């Protein structure tokens, strides 16, 4: 195949304890470690492995967001991606707008595979891949835990509530990936240096022909989870049952 298109998102690192701003207007991001969304990092790793098996000629990474996302794109290039595209947008991007962006890029680049993380850990929408498949009118395979390519088709093992389900889809197709698909590689210093010379294109919604969307969703406020109360020690089963009855559980 000619190329694989991979979407990545800049998010607060999963290891960081997220704090809500005192006024409830958002979460604290100043001075906080930012990284590639973990599901997207797995999507990129899978694309790189496909290329290393000589099943693809090029891996293109795409991020939609502020100019600061160049840092995550450079990390993706250091992992092994061939080129990067930043669609620079001020403010949050809703899933439908993201899907429209990927549609335009898919029409331009003609990838055989678009691989995305199943969701982003900052908003947990999990909708972009499905919307892209509908707009592109191509098959989709979501929540992939195994991906095999053969003769213009993709065999995907996906995680569902009842266990594992294996489906086959014709290429081009959209695949969203789950955590168990692979373990992303570590980036080495020589690769970081080489990534500086790789092409990083910056474009906008207007240049792609994507209309600036009206705000469909508005977040009214943010609040931290309620503090958990301390546990209660009981002496025996009878005391446990009495405590549960008192709380209305039984």
CB 141 within 8 Å of CB 167: yes
Question: Which of 174, 159, 164 minimizes the C-alpha distance to 114?
Answer: 174
Please tell me the distance from the alpha carbon of residue 56 to that of residue 27, in angstroms, as a whole number: 39
Say whether pLDDT at 110 is over 80: yes
Strands 140-150 vs 173-177: parallel, antiparallel or unpaired: parallel
Q: Are 7 and 43 in contact (CB under 8 A)?
A: yes
* Residues in Cβ contact with 92 at an 8 Å cutoff, skipping those fewer than 6 apart: none
Task: Give the pLDDT confidence score for residue 27 in this predicted structure.
Answer: 82
The pLDDT-based confidence of 100 (bands split at 50, 70, 90) is very high
pLDDT at 77: 95
pLDDT at 130: 95
User: Could you tell me the residue ranges of all domains in the chain?
Assistant: 3-220
pTM score of the predicted model: 0.84
Task: Check pLDDT > 80 for residue 1.
Answer: no
pLDDT band at 139 (very low <50, low <70, confident <90, very high): very high
Could you tell me which CATH number the domain at 3-220 has? 3.40.50.620
Mean pLDDT (whole number) for 206-222: 81
Q: What is the mean pLDDT of the chain?
A: 90
Q: Which residues of 78-109 are buried (b: 16+ CB within 10 A; e: fewer)?
A: bbbbbbbbbbbbeeebbbebbbbbbbbbbeeb
- Assess whether pLDDT exceeds 90 at residue 79: yes
Cα angle value 109/112/115 (rounded, 5°): 95
Q: What is the pLDDT of residue 148?
A: 93
In the predicted model, is pLDDT for residue 87 greater than 80? yes
């Amino acid at each position: 195949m000619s190329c694989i298109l991979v979407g990545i998102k800049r998010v607060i690192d999963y290891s960081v304890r997220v704090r809500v701003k005192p006024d409830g207007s958002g979460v604290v991001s100043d001075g906080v470690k930012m990284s590639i969304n973990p599901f997207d990092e797995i999507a990129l790793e899978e694309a790189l492995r496909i290329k290393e098996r000589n099943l693809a000629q090029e891996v293109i990474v795409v991020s939609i967001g502020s100019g600061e996302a160049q840092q995550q794109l450079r990390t993706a290039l250091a992992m092994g991606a061939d080129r990067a595209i930043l669609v620079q947008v001020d403010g949050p991007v809703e899933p439908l707008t993201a899907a429209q962006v990927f549609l335009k890029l898919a029409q331009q680049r003609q990838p055989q595979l678009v691989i995305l993380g199943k969701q982003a850990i900052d908003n947990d929408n999990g909708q972009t891949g499905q919307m892209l498949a509908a707009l592109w009118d191509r098959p989709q395979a979501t929540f992939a835990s195994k991906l095999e390519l053969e003769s213009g088709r993709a065999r995907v093992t996906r995680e569902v509530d009842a266990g594992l389900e294996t489906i086959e889809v014709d290429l081009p197709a959209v695949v969203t990936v789950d955590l168990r698909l692979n373990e992303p590689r570590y980036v080495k210093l020589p690769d970081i240096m080489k990534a500086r010379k790789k092409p990083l294109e910056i474009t906008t919604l207007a240049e792609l022909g994507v209309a600036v969307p009206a705000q469909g969703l508005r977040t009214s406020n943010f609040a931290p989870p309620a503090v958990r109360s301390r546990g209660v020690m009981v002496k025996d089963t009878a005391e446990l049952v009495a405590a549960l009855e008192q709380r209305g559980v039984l």
